[in-house]
Structures are given as C-alpha cells and as structure tokens.
Structure 1
Amino acid sequence: MAILLGAAANAAQPSREDLLQELLTSAPTRLSARFETLEPDKLDLLRSLPAYATERGLKLKALLMIGPNGPGRAHTVVVVLAQEESFRMSVVLTSGGRISRKATTPIAADALARWVRGITASTLLIPAGSDISSLEAKLKDADFDLLLALFNPDELVLFVADLRTGDRSLAKQLIKVINGPMRAMRPTYPRE
C-alpha cells in the first residue's frame, strides 16, 4: 500500500500524506524538492486521494495516472478539481523518484468535457467498470500503464490502457489529446 517510500525510507523523506497534499495543491509545497523515492501507486492513489480531497473540502472530478515509463520510471499524475464555476487541472510529473515538474491551469466545463471525450474515445482505453476491487484484478492480470478515474456525482467510472504495447499511432494520438490542455498550464515547480 505504500505509495512512495520503500525499505530505504528515512524520517527526512516526505510521507504518503505529503504526496496526497502535493497532488491536490497547484503550488509547490515546502516538500516538493524533498521527494527522492517517489513511485506513485495507481490503486493506492485511486483509493486514498478522493477521501483525502473530500476531507479537505475539495471535489475531485478526474484522476489520470500514466506510468511508469522509460528508464527513469517517469509518472504523470493529472488531478482535476471542481472550483465554483470551473475546474482546475494540475499535473505532477515524476522521474527518477523525484518531482520534476508541477503545473496548473483553470479549465472550463466544456473544455474539460471535450478532453474527457477525446480520451475516452480512444480505442486503446478499456472500460474497467466502477469497482476498485475488480480493477485490482485487472491490473494484476495485465500491464496497464494508464488509469483514468472519472468521479461523477453518482458513480466512479474507470478506464485502463496499455500505451507501451498497443498501436503506437493510437498511443501518440491519445497522448496528444491528454496533453492538449497541458499546453496552457503555468509551471509552478520548479520556479522558472
């Protein structure tokens, strides 16, 4: 269940709760630079982030996790939170166990709907129902490197995909759709 620290963890390392806070805040926290063994676990984040957000008065609308990819075991975690009239999309990129970038942008409801439709229209995505326990079995049976969770008012909707072994052109198209709103994001970490 550990999201972030292995056996070599020491007291100076940020905690699991620190990671959850890092994912929900658009600005860097005082601990952003201290993560050294970060390895986001999709199922653990899916189980813990919604409750953590709710406890803090935040409304989680979507959670997209991609990774690990490449020799640096890079991960991308996208969090969409409801805000009064619109939404805020934030991304945390990790590589080599460290947070390499954080960025954020406001996103209008119609733009968010287009983004979700664009992602879910990909034939690479496999609907995974709404039961986290059945998703756990699917993740053990196959090597999915993408997990999308949509938090609708009455239900959780889950999708998985394997971007590494699927059709490369479809994977590139899907990544292009995913990255669409991120082009407008304002980097918050590291400070430029």
Structure 2
Amino acid sequence: MAILLGAAANAAQPSREDLLQELLTSAPTRLSARFETLEPDKLDLLRSLPAYATERGLKLKALLMIGPNGPGRAHTVVVVLAQEESFRMSVVLTSGGRISRKGTTPIAADALARWVRGITASTLLIPAGSDISSLEAKLKDADFDLLLALFNPDELVLFVADLRTGDRSLAKQLIKVINGPMRAMRPTYPRE
C-alpha cells in the first residue's frame, strides 16, 4: 500500500481504493475527512488510477501530480475525465496527510487543449516517454515533484519536472498556467 504510510495507517483509515474513488469523484465521499496519513504516490496512482477509472466506465484524459512540497508535504492531484461533449477537472489538495480541499469544474475541449499546451510548453517539463517502467528509473534517479500523464487514445504521454530547484520564475509561470482553469473551480470539500 504505497498510498497510506505511517504507523497510523490501519484498518480505521480509508483504503487505497477509497483514495482512487476520492480522486475520481467530484463530490466528497463519506471518507474525505478520515484520511490522516495520505501521501499520494505518483507511480502507484499512475499505474492504478487508469484501470480503476475504466472499471467504473470513466475515461481518464489527464493526471497531474505535484508534490510533496513544503513542511506539510503538500500534494496536488488533478484528474481530468472525459464526459459527453466536454471534460471534468477535479482537484484534491492534501497537506499533513489530510485532504485539505477538493473541487471540480467542467472544462471545454479547447480550454483543456490550451491548458495542456501551456503546461507542456514550459522548458521545465522533461518528456518522459510512455513507458512507466523507464519512468520509475527516472523518478529514482532524480527528484521530480511534478508528473503529468496524458492519456491519448493510442498512447500514454508522460512528462516530469522539478519545480523546487529549477528556475523560480519559470516555476511560477508554470504554476500560474496549471492553476488557470482552477480559478473557476467549485469547492466541494470542505463544505463552505
């Protein structure tokens, strides 16, 4: 169980499957407040979330993971799912092992394409191919805190970046692009 870490990860804690469900559901689940030792694992989510989505009749279009960052080991997980004529972007923010915020917004195909182009145009991003096994070696050899996976009909396209040690102004520009569609996001957790 790469997702739940620490001595407190026991039967009372939500399971790995609960986390996958949390990421694919725009509304909070009955377990949203119970995550206490959450440490999203990029490779584990990359391997498991697409199949989990497919099993539930959902089509995963993109997965973006940033973190851990700062003393609270904050993580951002963005999931983009295809819907009938558009897409739905959901974001889960974690800090200190807990889900701190969750939100969702619809996003049109052209806006999604602009968002992806804006992210992949950054010189901080390093193309990582389409093989998860070779990505695993790259993640072990370097300290990448961003992973972008694009699920195209015939291929998986992967990118990595190190936002902490790269050019700070480029990192700020990239975060601004990433946050663009999230400004319209409707918070779903905690309820306000």
Please give the TM-score of this superposition, normalised by the length of structure 2.
Answer: 0.99
Measured against aligned partners, the alpha-carbon deviations of 1:18-60 in whole angstroms (never above 9, x if no partner) come to 0000000000000000000000000000000000000000000
Sequence identity (%): 99
**3-state DSSP class of the match of 2:71?**
coil
Give matches, 1:2-151, under 5 Å. 2-151=2-151
Measured against aligned partners, the alpha-carbon deviations of 1:115-139 in whole angstroms (never above 9, x if no partner) come to 0000000000000000000000000
Distance 2:8 2:92 in 1: 23
| Superposition deviation, residue 8 in structure 1 | 3.2
Unaligned runs of at least 5 residues, structure 1:
none
Distance 2:95 2:107 in 1: 26
Distance 1:98 1:3 in 2: 12
Distance 2:59 2:11 in 1: 31
**3-state DSSP class of the match of 1:3?**
coil
Please list every run of at least 4 consecutive aligned residues from structure 1 whose deviation after the TM superposition is greater than 6 angstroms. Answer: none
Measured against aligned partners, the alpha-carbon deviations of 1:141-185 in whole angstroms (never above 9, x if no partner) come to 000000000000000000000000000000000000000000000
| Superposition deviation, residue 3 in structure 1 | 1.1
Unaligned runs of at least 5 residues, structure 2:
none
Measured against aligned partners, the alpha-carbon deviations of 1:58-117 in whole angstroms (never above 9, x if no partner) come to 000000000000000000000000000000000000000000000000000000000000
Distance 1:150 1:3 in 2: 21
**3-state DSSP class of the match of 2:115?**
helix
Please give the TM-score of this superposition, normalised by the length of structure 1.
Answer: 0.99
RMSD: 0.7
Distance 1:45 1:19 in 2: 10
**3-state DSSP class of the match of 1:71?**
coil
**3-state DSSP class of the match of 1:180?**
helix
> Which segment drifts farther, 94-103 or 8-17?
8-17
Give the number of aligned pairs: 192
Distance 1:8 1:25 in 2: 25
> Which segment drifts farther, 5-14 or 95-104?
5-14
**3-state DSSP class of the match of 1:150?**
strand
| Superposition deviation, residue 9 in structure 1 | 1.6
